[in-house]
Amino acid sequence: MKRGLKLKGFMRTYLCIPLFLSILFLIMDIQIFLISHKAGYIGGIYWLVYVLVSSLIYFGSRRRIRRDLINFASNYGQMQVSMIKEMDIPYCVLSETGQLLWGNDKFLEVIVNKKAARKNIENIFPEITYGKLPKTPESRVVHVQAQERYYRCVLNLVVNDSTGSTDEMLQFDQIIENKRIIAMCMYEETEVINLEKVRDAENLVVGLLYIDNYDELIDSIDEVRQSLTVALIDRKVNKYMQGIDAISKKLEKDKFFFAFKQKHLDGLVANRFSILEEIRNINLGNDQSATISIGIGVGKGSYMERYEWARAAMDLALGRGGDQAVIKDGDNEQFFGGKRVQIERNTRVKARVRAHVLKELIEGKERVLVMGHSIGDMDSFGASVGIYRIAKTLNRKAHIVLNEVTTSVKPIKERFHSKEYENDMIIGSEEAKELVDDSTLLVIVDVNKGSYTECPELIDLAQSVVVIDHHRQAGDAITKAVLFYIEPYASSASEMVAEISQYIGNGLRLHPAEAEAMYAGIMIDTNFFSNKTGVRTFEAMAYLRRNGADAVRVRKAFREDIEEYKIKAAAIQDTELYRGEYAIAESLSEGIESPTVLGAKIANSLLDINGVKASFVLTKYNGKVYISARSIDELNVQVMMERLGGGGHINVAGAQLTDVTVEAAKGIIRETIDNMITEGEA
């Protein structure tokens, strides 16, 4: 027992009451003495006896009283510890860093590896990381899983500021560093979570199924096989819906609505929506295969919200080229399928309708700003020039937003530094932000992700936004566009703008420099007409040729610098053939004006190597690793790049990685290839 232990509080006051009363009795005796000396003497004697007895009791029994109080407190504390130890709720004490100091019996039953827990609680519950430990008196709640049980852990920071006097308390103070501990109480919620799972499994999921190319499919076969093909598609769809116990309804000749219980969704995901392949394999002698798109809305919202999510998922599926399924749960999307090369659509009705809407939007504004993606290439610049000419034809002020000029764009851009064009035709981001107001229309070309644009701030500042792009739409695409024209079947954004230009009217005619800029954009994105080139591509080229595009002059503009050619040759020489089929190379960007463009050229060249399914060229530039991915027809590099946060086409895609080295990025590519092969995606 510590000698310095002192009684405090009410107990000390209670024991001092006899001393306080002795003072009161003394005052009373003095008053009696003034009345009667004899009575005062007698009272004084009794007062002395009372003081003596009280003093003996107070000082003589103080140690014994204190010892009894300590024994009571000790027994009470042991009873508390015993109650906590045998409590039916798991309870433990942690250090500030998460080290397990003590746990009751129920807690020790929950954990399996006690030795690992003594190192750190995160070894037992990975959900309880150091960042989730409380640093303030406010409680922290963390949900964890132990084997097949689920718990809600409430963590509280406890500050031990006691000045205890027992040896046991001194030892406890030595165990607890800085006298700060974390008390954790675990409340089991297994039944609640299981009930939620049952409820979620019974929730209805809303879906839409569209036949992508119904009109083209029917037109490619005779009348007899038309009905057989439609009947066979309907039969396979209905059989698939019966397999998931779904209610389905054919809304139109090429559209279905269906609803089913969410518990069947995991099965659809596991077989990666096999109905896509089943429909694609239908062939009754027709020239092209049927493809379908599926949009599914799932979540805890209302049925109307799920239907809206299903419609948004269908828009995503169609915007990405069709032949795929999209599951949308609020802001989260999952993509399945979409591995085939999209079938080209020869109809230009959509282009004519979009041209009419674009014309009305431009005529309703005083100024038009056009921008493409950051580190712009020839396609984004050519498409921007086309929109610029449309705006000028409609007598509107127009500007192209362009910051960094790459080597591929520079030869074409120099042709616009003439008296024929205004000095402010091409402006930077800062100047563009000053021009944006309610009377400004912002047109974004060759990109549909806001973060990838030349100046993302313009999207927030502009009231009206138009997006024209040929890349497959991703889940984080620009959402505030009043006109969203995505055509994955097109070879390039320049091709799309060339088509739109033909329906604007008002006597629109491209100048030769403008036609050549768009011609160059198509040429680069098709890798000199060897990739994604269709009938409409050559029709657009013919239109540009009629407007004065000179193919020879464009070809001369794309001749390479000798230093770039050497770097290209070195990269090809050091190329790694992973699994003997996937070319992975590094492009050294030091001293090169446009390293990312050179990386794309190297990726295209690697496809000429026999046996290469896909090529990946990595370029370290401005603190990021840029990946240029290319393939011919055996690997969907767009799906692969989406896994890395990028996107693009089935055969042409890219991504940007931050805070990684080139070697680490190569490792990520190898791992992604392995995962796709395991999942049957490659």
pLDDT tens for residues 175-202? 444 467 888 999 988 888 888 888 888 8
Confidence at residue 516, expressed as pLDDT on a 0 to 100 scale: 92
80 band by pLDDT with thresholds 50, 70 and 90: low
- My answer on whether 266 and 128 are in the same domain is no
Kindly state the tokens that stand for 220: 């490619």
Same domain for 567 and 609? yes
Q: Are residues 656 and 638 in contact, defined by beta-carbon separation less than 8 angstroms?
A: no
Domain boundary among 337, 359, 394: 337
pLDDT of residue 50: 81
Res. 285: pLDDT tops 80: no
Same domain, 566 and 553: no
Instruction: State the distance between the two ends of the chain, measured CA to CA, in whole angstroms.
Output: 75
Cα torsion 568, 572, 578, 584 to 10°: value is 0
Asked if residue 360 belongs to a domain, the reply is: yes
Same domain, 386 and 535: yes
Are both 405 and 445 inside the same structural domain? yes
Mean pLDDT over 561-570 rounds to 85
566 and 541, same structural domain? Answer: no
- 76 part of a folded domain: no
Let me know whether 522 and 489 are in one domain: yes
Q: Last residue of a domain, which of 557, 581, 601?
A: 557
Q: Is residue 211 domain-resident?
A: yes
The pLDDT of 401-425, averaged and rounded, is 86
- Per-residue tokens: 61: 């029994």
- Residue 53 lies inside a defined structural domain of this protein: yes
Question: How many Å apart are CA 59 and CA 497, to the nearest integer?
Answer: 103
pLDDT of residue 575: 92
Residue 343 inside a domain? The answer is no
The structural domain count of the chain equals 5
User: Is the pTM above the cut of 0.75?
Assistant: no
Of 392, 630, 629, 661, nearest to 510 by C-alpha is 392
For the domain that residue 124 is a member of, what is the CATH number? 3.30.450.20
The contacts of residue 65 (CB under 8 Å, 6+ apart) are: 15
Rounded Cα distance between 183 and 154, Å, is 8
Mean pLDDT in residue range 288-298: 88
Q: What is the per-residue pLDDT for 386?
A: 95
Residue 153's domain comprises 86-195
One domain, residues 141 and 187: yes
Helix, strand or coil, per DSSP, at residue 524: helix
The residue-averaged pLDDT of 22-39 equals 82
Q: Judge whether 80 lies within some domain.
A: no
SS3 494: helix
- Same domain? For 433 and 552 the reply is yes
pLDDT of residue 3: 46
Distance, CA of 491 to CA of 294 (rounded, Å):
24
In-domain check, residue 2: no
Range in 6-10, 134-138, 424-428 the model is least confident about: 6-10
More confident site: 576 or 99: 576
| pLDDT of 134 strictly over 80 | yes
- Residue from 42, 60, 43, 50 nearest 20 by CA: 50
CATH number at residue 613: 3.10.310.30
Torsion angle (degrees, nearest 10) of CA 189, 195, 201, 205: -90
Does residue 275 sit in the same domain as residue 145?
Answer: no
Note whether 548 and 608 are same-domain residues.
no
634 in the same domain as 536: no
* CATH classification at residue 377: 3.90.1640.10
What's the whole-number mean pLDDT along residues 342-349? 58
166, 195, 224 - which closes a domain? 195
CA angle (17, 18, 22) in 5-degree steps: 120
What's the CATH number where 219 sits? 3.30.70.270
Q: Report d(CA 432, CA 416) in Å as an integer.
A: 19
- Residue 79 falls inside a structural domain: no
Average pLDDT of the chain to the nearest whole number: 83
Lowest mean pLDDT among 53-57, 200-204, 312-316, 655-659: 53-57
Average pLDDT over residues 521-543: 84
Residue 383: which H helix or E strand, with range? helix 378-393
